[in-house]
A and B are shown apart, each in its own frame.
Chain A
Amino acid sequence: MPVPPFRTALSLAVLSAACALPAAGFAGIDDNTVAFVQSVEPAGLDPTVSSPVAAGQVTWQNVFEGLVTIDRNGEIVPQLATGWEVSQDGRQITFALREGVSFHDGTPFDAEVAKFSLERILAEDSTNGQKALYTVIERVEAPDAGTLVLTLSRPSSDLLYWLGFPAAVIVAPDTADTNATDPVGTGPFRVAEWRKGDRVVMTRAEDYWGEAAPLDGITARFISDPQAQAAALKSGEVDVIAELGAAELFAQFENDPAYTARVGTGEMEVVAGMNNARAPFDDIRVRQALQMAIDRAQVIEAVKSGFGTPIGSHFSPASPYYVDLTDLFPYDPEAARALLDEAGLGDGLEFTFKVPNRPYAERTAEIMQAFFAQIGVTARIESSDFPAAWIQEVFTDTDYDMTIIGHAEPLDIGIYARDPYYFNYDSPEFDAAMEAVATAATPEARADAYADAQRILARDVPALYLYSDPKLGVWDARLEGVWADGPVPANDMTDLRWTR
């Protein structure tokens, strides 16, 4: 019984034929397209349902637009509304809507469509994850095709800002239910293909109402591993990494003229939340002492290769309302020890530190553990599978002592006024400050109220305030128009162009 020679000859022939092919080009300057890295693949492409951040990072501005939008400087600017007027008592906003706008499938945009979009967010069976930001809207009316009137239950200085966010983009009634898989928006690009697990390909929408996008097409590539992101950029498979996942990989691009490497401001604050309802964290002195045990500059050096800004409260240094409060409880192990002593914990303190299995969180927690040890505090690190287990244990059940997480949502200081929220922090004084923010009649009053809120948190330390993450962007140096800062978690590609 002779045995054929293993068929190896055949498989080797196939293999060598494959090796002889040149590396495939994916996108780039030659066909006037751009491929950008998106680390998390969204669940669906509709930013108004579920997983809002990742969906918005692919389709916001590129495919979907809002009544207003947030520009690269974080300013509110008109989009599908040309202008608006706020009534004297602050409880009514009247929008003038843009004419001649239509969706990619030809459906015209008008006040009824806008009304439908907003009412869909507020509906009882709404699955919009950010619904809470819009519940101040009491009534939506469309007196004529070009006018939309919002009646609010109370004045809200933030509502316009939130209307510029991905969660409030305008969708058409006929396509709203299928937008998650087959998005139809009013933006300069339309989705051509979603190859799940790999990429979303978008092409220029030819009948766009505004100025046509300079690029013929854009592609979101889903690459979660920072090493793989950097490798893909170097090999030319992608052209833009708006937010590089690992700071230590950034330096190699800084000195390479083929790339633009920009340290932009981000909206992420990394904080170590404590269970304020559980002893000993219900004692403000303990929380203050732990804040003084941490040298934030060293943490940033070790975890983020020095890229980051120390924070003293829950606010991004990029915001115009930011107040630097890092001096309130600076690094001072002696004072920290004394304060623990005063709280009756001079003999030491031991607790569980529930750390999500994300590299930044794990590294930060390990350094914090060392700093805690210096003042006689033992933090037992317990790893928690993120997001699934962490959300359940910390967020839903609040069964934890201390945890650590980056809060990526912009202007989210209001979470401390939420009840329930995982800090279990309860302060009528803070709630009043947030109320003052909402009802502020002037920009100055709003800034003052935000400053008060920041000061209250800096003093009460419901969470240890660590650092704000910069947005480390790297892209092909021949590209122009990439957003360096990140006022909104987004990959707005509408102004990108190739030069040279």
Chain B
Amino acid sequence: MRRLKRIGRRLGGLAAVLTLASVVIFALIEAAPGDPALIMLGTGAQPDTLAALRAELGLDRPLALRYLDWIGGVLRGDLGMSYTYGTPVAELIVQRLAVTLPLTALATALAVAISLPLGTWAAHRPGGGVDGLATVFAQAGIAVPNFWIGLLLILGVALGLGAFPTGGFPGWDAGAGTAIHALVLPALALAIPQAAVLTRVTRAAVIEIASEDFIRTARAKGLTRGQALWRHTMPNALLPVVTMLGLQIPFLISGAVLVETVFNLPGIGTLAYNALAQRDLIVVQNVVLFFAVIVLASNAAVDALYAVLDPRLRGRR
């Protein structure tokens, strides 16, 4: 019962934040200069043509009504029609997620696969050769923007070695192998800055936990270094790593916008980018709201994961 109440309170908070976010998103996007109808028609358009298109898109309706239309639709599961494509926004988002979700999942997997072993190994002997390497990787990875890594990968790996396509996405009907193949380089570009941050966090956490009393006790009990690491250090060190992973999700999304553009992937990032340039307002509003949902949900998920990873947090609050 208490648990249900807690979950209820949590959901109520999320709803309040999302409502506020929707108002801010709508207001910001409406305030941006640029008339969608004029952009669609081009500079040769006559005033009567413009008025006709505005009426067709519903742009001549008052602001407050348009906001209510939008939110009412969202609540009913109807995200409206894209101004430019003329197709349902929900359909567009689902199509694009088929690229972005695998991309970000692959990037996260890569980041974890790089950073956990590297960070742990570096922490094993601080100041050693591997540690030096890990530090350089972490510094460089944080400093270098992901779109630039993407360009280097295109030039070096895709064009130089010819092992990967330079961009574009063949679609899932071309076969899962072919599709994933096209996502490897963009995922790597997205993963490297993330892996850099995670390597640092892992290294710091492992070093900190390894110097705790309970680890010394464990070793005194006769556990080898490896056993102590697996059974006692890692479960504790994972907590900050998971937190960081959750905090990185907004960066993953913003990174995806850039990386998808560089690799010309039809993902949700390019959808948002192009819709903004075209002032396809309804698409921008929905995609940004969707991003907000993802960020809030990922924060909630991290909190929930805490409870799993750290038994002490169960039932608290």
Q: Known contacts being A2-B231, A196-B266, is A50 close to B165, with CB within 8 Å?
A: no
Bound Cα distance A388, B83 (Å): 14
Specify which chain A residues have a CB less than 8 angstroms from the CB of B174 in the assembled complex.
24
Specify which chain B residues have a CB less than 8 angstroms from the CB of A237 in the assembled complex.
165-168
The A-contacting residues of B in range 257-288, CB under 8 angstroms, are 261-264, 266-267, 270-271, 274, 276-279
Q: Known contacts being A2-B231, A18-B180, is A235 close to B45, with CB within 8 Å?
A: no
Partner pick for B234 among A3, A131, A227, CB 8 A cutoff: A3
**B211 on the A face (CB < 8 A):** no
**A52 on the B face (CB < 8 A):** yes
Q: Are B44 and A228 in contact (CB under 8 A)?
A: no
Q: Known contacts being A127-B56, A227-B151, is A21 close to B42, with CB within 8 Å?
A: no
Q: Known contacts being A387-B34, A388-B32, is A228 close to B110, with CB within 8 Å?
A: no
Return the CB mask of B153-180 against A: 1 if under 8 Å, else 0. 0110011001111111111001001101
Q: Are A11 and B49 in contact (CB under 8 A)?
A: no
Bound Cα distance A11, B266 (Å): 24
Q: Are B277 and A387 in contact (CB under 8 A)?
A: yes
Q: Are A23 and B165 in contact (CB under 8 A)?
A: yes
Q: Are A197 and B270 in contact (CB under 8 A)?
A: yes
Specify which chain A residues have a CB less than 8 angstroms from the CB of B190 in the assembled complex.
none
Using a Cβ–Cβ cut-off of 8 Å, how many residues does chain A contribute to the interface with B?
63
**B235 on the A face (CB < 8 A):** yes
**Interchain pairs with CB closer than 8 A, number:** 198
Specify which chain B residues have a CB less than 8 angstroms from the CB of A6 in the assembled complex.
112-113, 116-117
Partner pick for A388 among B39, B110, B113, CB 8 A cutoff: B39
Q: Known contacts being A12-B113, A24-B170, A131-B49, is A3 close to B230, with CB within 8 Å?
A: yes
Specify which chain A residues have a CB less than 8 angstroms from the CB of B40 in the assembled complex.
43, 50-51, 129
**B223 on the A face (CB < 8 A):** no
The A-contacting residues of B in range 120-176, CB under 8 angstroms, are 151, 154-155, 158-159, 162-171, 174
Bound Cα distance A232, B167 (Å): 7
**B84 on the A face (CB < 8 A):** yes
Specify which chain A residues have a CB less than 8 angstroms from the CB of B103 in the assembled complex.
none
Stretch at the interface among B13-21, B66-74, B85-93, B214-222: B85-93
Return the CB mask of A118-136 against B: 1 if under 8 Å, else 0. 0000001111111111000
Partner pick for A391 among B38, B95, B184, CB 8 A cutoff: B38
Bound Cα distance A363, B46 (Å): 31
Partner pick for A43 among B84, B95, B276, CB 8 A cutoff: B84
Interface residues of B, dominant DSSP: helix
Partner pick for B163 among A23, A196, A227, CB 8 A cutoff: A23
Q: Are A130 and B162 in contact (CB under 8 A)?
A: no
Q: Known contacts being A1-B231, A391-B43, is A17 close to B177, with CB within 8 Å?
A: yes
Shortest beta-carbon distance from B56 to chain A in Å: 6
Partner pick for B53 among A2, A18, A127, A227, CB 8 A cutoff: A127
The A-contacting residues of B in range 8-39, CB under 8 angstroms, are 32-35, 38-39
Bound Cα distance A3, B229 (Å): 10
Q: Are B277 and A235 in contact (CB under 8 A)?
A: no
Specify which chain A residues have a CB less than 8 angstroms from the CB of B163 in the assembled complex.
19, 23
Partner pick for A14 among B33, B162, B180, CB 8 A cutoff: B180
Q: Known contacts being A3-B230, A6-B113, is A392 close to B169, with CB within 8 Å?
A: no
Bound Cα distance A8, B167 (Å): 26
Specify which chain A residues have a CB less than 8 angstroms from the CB of B56 in the assembled complex.
125, 127
Return the CB mask of A180-208 against B: 1 if under 8 Å, else 0. 11000000000000011111000000000
Q: Are A126 and B52 in contact (CB under 8 A)?
A: yes
A135 to chain B: closest residue by CB: B46
Shortest beta-carbon distance from A108 to chain B in Å: 27
**B109 on the A face (CB < 8 A):** yes
Specify which chain A residues have a CB less than 8 angstroms from the CB of B117 in the assembled complex.
6, 8
Q: Are A393 and B48 in contact (CB under 8 A)?
A: no
Bound Cα distance A198, B179 (Å): 14
Residue of B181, B184, B267 with most chain A CB atoms under a 10 A cut-off = B181
Shortest beta-carbon distance from A246 to chain B in Å: 14
**B182 on the A face (CB < 8 A):** yes
**A473 on the B face (CB < 8 A):** no
Q: Are B34 and A21 in contact (CB under 8 A)?
A: no
Q: Are B85 and A392 in contact (CB under 8 A)?
A: no
Specify which chain A residues have a CB less than 8 angstroms from the CB of B84 in the assembled complex.
43-44, 50-51
Q: Are B181 and A21 in contact (CB under 8 A)?
A: yes
**A396 on the B face (CB < 8 A):** yes
Specify which chain B residues have a CB less than 8 angstroms from the CB of A130 in the assembled complex.
44
The B-contacting residues of A in range 51-68, CB under 8 angstroms, are 51-53
**A41 on the B face (CB < 8 A):** yes
Q: Known contacts being A3-B235, A8-B112, A17-B177, is A225 close to B85, with CB within 8 Å?
A: no
**B63 on the A face (CB < 8 A):** no
**B59 on the A face (CB < 8 A):** no
Shortest beta-carbon distance from B19 to chain A in Å: 27
Shortest beta-carbon distance from B252 to chain A in Å: 16
A193 to chain B: closest residue by CB: B171
Bound Cα distance A3, B49 (Å): 65
Specify which chain B residues have a CB less than 8 angstroms from the CB of A125 in the assembled complex.
52, 55-56
Q: Are A392 and B34 in contact (CB under 8 A)?
A: yes
Specify which chain B residues have a CB less than 8 angstroms from the CB of A199 in the assembled complex.
168
**A351 on the B face (CB < 8 A):** no
Partner pick for A15 among B96, B110, B165, CB 8 A cutoff: B110
Specify which chain A residues have a CB less than 8 angstroms from the CB of B109 in the assembled complex.
7, 11, 14-15
Residue of B55, B96, B279 with most chain A CB atoms under a 10 A cut-off = B279
**A231 on the B face (CB < 8 A):** yes
Q: Are A181 and B87 in contact (CB under 8 A)?
A: yes
Shortest beta-carbon distance from B118 to chain A in Å: 11
**A389 on the B face (CB < 8 A):** yes
Q: Known contacts being A12-B113, A196-B92, A225-B261, is A129 close to B52, with CB within 8 Å?
A: no
**B41 on the A face (CB < 8 A):** yes
Specify which chain B residues have a CB less than 8 angstroms from the CB of A380 in the assembled complex.
none
Specify which chain B residues have a CB less than 8 angstroms from the CB of A235 in the assembled complex.
158-159, 162, 165-166
Q: Known contacts being A221-B168, A234-B159, is A197 close to B44, with CB within 8 Å?
A: no
Q: Are B168 and A198 in contact (CB under 8 A)?
A: yes
Specify which chain A residues have a CB less than 8 angstroms from the CB of B184 in the assembled complex.
15, 18-19
**A409 on the B face (CB < 8 A):** yes
**B238 on the A face (CB < 8 A):** yes
Shortest beta-carbon distance from A401 to chain B in Å: 18
**A223 on the B face (CB < 8 A):** yes
Q: Are B85 and A389 in contact (CB under 8 A)?
A: no
Partner pick for B171 among A41, A195, A392, A395, CB 8 A cutoff: A195
Q: Known contacts being A129-B49, A196-B95, is A228 close to B166, with CB within 8 Å?
A: yes
A128 to chain B: closest residue by CB: B49
Shortest beta-carbon distance from B1 to chain A in Å: 28
> Can you give 14 A-B contacts (C-beta < 8 A)?
A8-B117, A12-B113, A15-B109, A15-B110, A17-B177, A23-B164, A24-B181, A127-B56, A197-B271, A198-B266, A224-B264, A232-B168, A388-B32, A391-B43
Please give the residue numbers on chain B whose beta carbons come within 8 Å of chain A beta carbons, in ascending order.
32-35, 38-46, 48-49, 52-53, 55-56, 83-87, 92, 95-96, 106, 109-110, 112-113, 116-117, 151, 154-155, 158-159, 162-171, 174, 177-178, 180-182, 184, 230-231, 234-235, 238, 261-264, 266-267, 270-271, 274, 276-279
Q: A11-B112, A228-B167 are in contact. List 12 more A-B contacts (CB 8 A).
A: A11-B110, A14-B109, A17-B177, A19-B163, A44-B84, A127-B53, A129-B49, A132-B46, A227-B154, A228-B166, A231-B167, A391-B38
